[in-house]
């Protein structure tokens, strides 16, 4: 019998509507008791003194790119899972733009099995279309059987509306979530950052908000027409928020995520011509940032994800030609605490709901709770500890973070997966 006892923690669990001091007893990887006091006298297992720390369900990131298979010079499943654990994450959903594309059961099983020793559960998101070419749907039944929890052509929008409608209908049959990368490539053209005053000053092509807004509206219309579910990835514009808010009021089955950089930063950072501030969708304007933050606070946006997208320093060296994407697993909790909790916009319960409980529900996976009988996936963090983001100290194989040099407030101390410590800071 393997036992672990966490003593003197401050438990935050939205699934039980709990914010209170508690001890947590873990046995054989499961939570078996949660109460205000559990004696450690004659206890044979590991005792963790969590005095001064928050205990919460392990965090869940529903949007990451681990570049494995095919692009492991940037990241692989092992290094990605190590980065996740350092950020307090015990589960992640990996996007399908790998090489080969995650459009077969073999690739789906590979992603799941390679992650097993790390303690971080990988839930693959399979491709909507074969080869992510937007022409023919993949075999949703086989992909679901292999372990996929959702489908998406993330990284490439599904340009054909009829194909996307068919995907929403078929996904409903198999209990899969459709995740949409909302982008109109014809509007984007050769844009490399947000279209606005900064792109004009730099003399580089911009990415108009209308690209994201128009496809968001399309996906909502398709979900309304079919009665199916659609999840809008990495929301960055005030227009997209307006469409999502209206759709929810009308009862359309739409959920949405954003990333910490969209509620904290703006396109002004790109005046430095530093490609580490380039991602897709791009950093927008102050009005967008404020609307995104408000949508997170009021529940229009359901989840905070990172869109963790590693690239090498060499790839990011030239501003105009660098690939889009930033890493984010190790800073997500800290940024959310710093900009939402410590700035008194949301409670600790809402932070954990955004980063754990709600992602579990949207994906339909186990997690996001420390109820008795639940899997003992737990993050222990110090909400008051300040630290400065030094890229070279990140666990991720790549260091392309937008938060470099920033001082954040909130630090992961220990990450526990099924009762086993997989990270200790």
Q: Which residues are catalytic?
A: 307
Contact 8, 50 (CB under 8 A): yes
Tokens of 15: 């699934």
Q: Which residues of 221-253 are buried (b: 16+ CB within 10 A; e: fewer)?
A: bbbbebebbbbbbbbbbbbbbbbbbebbeeebb
Reference 124, options 141, 105, 100; nearest CA is 105
Quick one: which of 98, 95, 119, 147 has its CA closest to 306?
95
- For the record, the structure tokens of 57 come out as 């369900």
**Pair type for strands 230-232 and 18-27:** unpaired
* Tokens 């128009």, residue located: 214
Cα separation of 138 and 125, whole Å? 12
Q: Which two tokens stand for residue 110?
A: 């590979």
CA atoms within 13 A on the CB side of 303: 29
Please give the structure tokens belonging to residue 391.
């890229």
Element (H, E) at 103: none
């Amino acid at each position: 019998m393997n036992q672990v006892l966490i003593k003197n923690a401050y438990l935050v669990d939205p699934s039980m509507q709990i914010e209170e001091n508690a001890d947590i007893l873990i046995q054989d990887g499961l939570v078996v008791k949660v109460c205000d006091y559990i004696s450690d006298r004659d206890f044979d297992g590991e005792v963790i003194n969590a005095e001064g720390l928050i205990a919460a369900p392990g965090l869940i990131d529903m949007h990451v790119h681990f570049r494995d298979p095919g692009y492991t010079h940037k990241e692989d499943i092992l290094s990605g899972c190590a980065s996740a654990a350092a950020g307090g994450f015990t589960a992640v959903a990996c996007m399908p733009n790998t090489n080969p594309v995650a459009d077969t059961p073999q690739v789906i099983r590979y992603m799941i099995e390679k992650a097993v020793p790390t303690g971080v559960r990988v839930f693959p998101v399979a491709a909507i279309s074969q080869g992510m070419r937007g022409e023919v749907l993949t075999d949703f039944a086989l992909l679901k059987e292999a372990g996929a929890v959702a489908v998406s052509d993330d990284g490439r929008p599904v340009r054909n509306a009829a194909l996307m409608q068919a995907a929403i209908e078929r996904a409903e049959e198999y209990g899969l979530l459709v995740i949409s990368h909302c982008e109109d490539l014809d509007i984007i053209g050769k844009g490399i950052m947000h279209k606005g005053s900064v792109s004009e000053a730099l003399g580089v092509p911009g990415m108009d908000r209308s690209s994201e807004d128009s496809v968001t509206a399309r996906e909502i219309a398709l979900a309304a027409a079919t009665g199916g579910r659609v999840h809008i990835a990495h929301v960055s514009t005030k227009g997209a928020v307006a469409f999502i808010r209206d759709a929810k009021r009308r009862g359309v089955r739409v959920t949405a995520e954003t990333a910490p950089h969209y509620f904290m930063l703006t396109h002004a950072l790109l005046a430095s011509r530093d490609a580490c501030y380039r991602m897709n969708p791009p950093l927008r304007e102050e009005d967008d940032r404020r609307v995104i933050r408000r949508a997170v606070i009021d529940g229009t946006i359901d989840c905070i994800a990172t869109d963790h997208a590693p690239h090498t320093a060499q790839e990011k060296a030239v501003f105009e030609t660098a690939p889009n994407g930033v890493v984010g697993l190790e800073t997500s909790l800290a940024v959310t605490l710093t900009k939402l909790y410590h700035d008194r916009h949301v409670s600790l319960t809402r932070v954990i709901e955004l980063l754990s409980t709600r992602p579990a529900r949207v994906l339909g996976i186990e997690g996001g709770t420390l109820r008795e009988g639940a899997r003992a996936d737990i993050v222990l963090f110090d909400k008051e500890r300040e630290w400065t983001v030094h890229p070279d100290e990140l666990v991720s194989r790549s260091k392309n973070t937008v938060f470099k040099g920033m001082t954040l407030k909130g630090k992961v101390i220990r990450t526990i997966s099924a009762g086993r410590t997989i990270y200790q800071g």
